[in-house]
Structure 1
Amino acid sequence: MRILLTNDDGINAPGLYVLEKIAAKLSDDIWICAPAEEQSGAGHSLTLTRPVRLREHAPRRFSVSGTPTDAVNMALKKVLPEPPDLILSGVNRGANLGDDVTYSGTVSAAMEGALAGVRSIALSQVYGKEGVGNAVSFDAAEAWGEKVLRPLVDIEFASRSLVNINFPPMAGGDVRGIRVVRQGFHDYARGSVVESIDPRGFPYFWFGLHGIEHTPGSDTDLEAIADGYISVTPLHLDLTHGAELERMADQYQP
């Protein structure tokens, strides 16, 4: 089985090395193509206004000067000799729960794989207030990564679908299990914008993630993580709202 690894934290991110360890338990045919630098929050963006550079660091290990979507595209079209059987994106440093999936470069890399017809999975390690910089423990991901992936590599995914996995912020031995759950929702209206002054006296702004309200509902990824479980959420790329489609169509009837 050929596996492509990518992420949005960059080619040198600790989580990518964790993902390599996990993938090595599944296959010995592993390729890496990731952004050269951190691209957190890049979403499903594609670089169109400047050239994308491809760099080979070692056999089967590449980086691109662009987004996670660029990385997957370059891997599929210029790097791999044949399409992969599986794309793994992560392990992200931080949660990709609820609405996070719309911003996440990690999840968007898996989306790009799904669009190309490749079975794709995003993996993220949630961390608590003690997580500063790269001082984030990936213990839960390392301990449970193979266990949560094994059942998924043996099944077919629906067309244009992917799987989003999050590991709770705790030691691997404390994880209570795995739950297959729905996507939850955040209250992003409560997010913050941090304002300060740079050394030259000009104001600048930094979007903050603290202050966002987490409102777990029954059987959502937010609730699973809060309860100490790994969340596994199948997502699909058809964003059409079926009920609204019919209601709006009625408005245009003669």
Structure 2
Amino acid sequence: MRILITNDDGIHAPGLKSLEKIARDLSDDVWVVAPEFDQSGVSHSLSLNDPMRLREVGDRHFAVKGTPTDCVIMGVKHILDTAPDLVLSGVNRGQNIAEDIKYSGTIAGAFEGAILGHRAMALSQAYGFAEGRSIDYACAEAHGAKTISKCLEMDLPRDGVININFPDRLPDEVEGVQVTRQGRRDQALMHIDARKDGRGNPYFWLGFSRHRSNPATETDLHAIYNGYISVTPLKLDMTDEDLLSRLADHF
């Protein structure tokens, strides 16, 4: 099985090394094509107005000056001589659940794999709410390969992505696996952090509030909060079927 892996945290990110370990538990034919620099939060953006620079950093390891989407396209269309059997994206530094999915470059990298017609999965490792808390990828490394393998036992459609999130738990403290739907937080995640530079000129950062929501059961949020591995199927087709019917009747 040929596996193409990417991420949005950059070619030197610890989570990418963890994903390579996971991939090598599944196959010895693993190719790494990842962004030269951190691309967190770029979603499904493409580099249309800037050239993409490609750098070979090792055997079957390539860095692209571009987005995760660029990396998957480069991997499939330029670097690999035959198509991958599986595209993996991650392991992201932090969970990708609820609204995170819309912003995530990790999820987008997997979606690009699906757009190109390949089975694709995104992997993310949650970490705690405490300020300055370091992230431990042991949970993802311990459970990643068997979770992927379980998914691959099914005839997965090529028009979607399996979004896998690992809880902030030691490997032997994981409660199990839950198949979930995308949740939604009950509080705003982002805010504007206004500051002034040394000359008194204003500048701004997007700030993130890390707090717990009160999620519904069977959601990715609920699973991660309660120590379960969350497995969520996502689709490329974002049509709102219910509203589609009502709009048709309205018009």
Task: Tell me which interval the TM-score lies in, with the shorter structure as reference length.
Answer: over 0.9
1:128-207 equivalences in 2 (<5 Å): 128-130=128-130, 132=132, 135-187=134-186, 189=188, 191-207=190-206
Matched, 1:32 2:32: yes
User: Which SS does the other structure have where 1:178 is aligned?
Assistant: strand
Q: CA deviation at 1:145?
A: 1.0
- Give the superposed CA RMSD: 1.5
Structure 2 residue ranges without an equivalent (≥5): none
Looking at structure 1, the residues matched to 153 and 210 of structure 2 have their Cα atoms a distance apart, in angstroms, of: 40
TM-score (norm 1): 0.94
1:99-118 equivalences in 2 (<5 Å): 99-118=99-118
Q: CA deviation at 1:185?
A: 0.8
- Residue identity in the other structure for 1:242: E
User: Which SS does the other structure have where 2:237 is aligned?
Assistant: coil
1:1-254 equivalences in 2 (<5 Å): 1-130=1-130, 132=132, 135-187=134-186, 189=188, 191-210=190-209, 214-252=213-251
Q: CA deviation at 1:130?
A: 4.2
Looking at structure 1, the residues matched to 26 and 32 of structure 2 have their Cα atoms a distance apart, in angstroms, of: 15
Report if aligned partners of 1:167, 1:231 keep a CA contact under 8 Å in 2: yes
- Residue identity in the other structure for 1:117: G
Deviations 1:36-56 (A, max 9, x none): 000000000111111111111
Report if aligned partners of 2:8, 2:35 keep a CA contact under 8 Å in 1: yes
Percentage identity across paired residues of the two chains: 50
Report if aligned partners of 1:192, 1:211 keep a CA contact under 8 Å in 2: no
User: Which SS does the other structure have where 1:98 is aligned?
Assistant: coil
Report if aligned partners of 1:56, 1:62 keep a CA contact under 8 Å in 2: yes
- Residue identity in the other structure for 2:141: E
TM-score (norm 2): 0.95
Report if aligned partners of 2:193, 2:206 keep a CA contact under 8 Å in 1: yes
- Residue identity in the other structure for 1:67: T
Q: CA deviation at 1:5?
A: 0.7
User: Which SS does the other structure have where 2:99 is aligned?
Assistant: helix
Q: CA deviation at 1:13?
A: 0.1
Deviations 1:120-145 (A, max 9, x none): 00000000134738x31111111111
